[in-house]
Amino acid sequence: MNAVQRVAELDLAVLRAVQEKVALPGAVGVATGLSHAGEHAAAWIGIGAVGFLVDRRRRRQWAVATASVVAAHGASVVLKRVARRHRPLDHHVQVRVGTPSRWSMPSSHATSTTAAAVAFAPLLPVPTWPLVPAMMASRLVLGVHYPTDVAAGALLGAATPVVVGAVARRIAA
């Protein structure tokens, strides 16, 4: 067995374990709520739009932060079509929510949520980081992603605001 096969085997084992141990009715309800909030980055874009409209003093920062979320989501959608990894299909994994596509890698929910957590952190009075592991776990509880999908999404989401911020500073200079 090569390294890729070992990672795939471990990926499925972790997903099965999460489904078996964590996917309790309350957790499934919370995961479903997070899934709906994160669909197409809608909640995060909405938060950014509200911040942009009400926080006039930091309007530019809100625009850049929201652009980071949009860019991260867009990048994840493009990368899904490049990676073309199918969503989990295993008789031990229960899929508990519908998805807009059959592609799995990277998780767009994890990507946009991490981008929002990073980009909105300096703008909001509450910690944003707890959203990230919650969204990542929700994708496993719902059976629509492998652990490596959500990890890749979180990495992409963390990097995107850094890149978008650098581009915005360069443009503003």
Interval 63-72: pLDDT, tens: 999 999 999 9
Q: Is the pLDDT of residue 77 over 70?
A: yes
Structure tokens at 169: 């500073």
| Distance of alpha carbon 49 from alpha carbon 96, whole angstroms | 30
Which tokens hold the place of 157? 């989401």
Domain spans, the chain: 3-172
Which of 120, 140, 147, 106 lies closest to 30, judged by CA?
A: 140
Cβ atoms 97, 141 nearer than 8 A: no
How many other C-beta atoms lie within 10 A of the C-beta of residue 130? 10
The domain over range 3-172 is classified in CATH as 1.10.606.20? yes
pLDDT tens for residues 91-147? 888 888 888 889 999 999 999 999 999 999 999 999 999 999 999 999 999 999 999
Reported pTM: 0.92
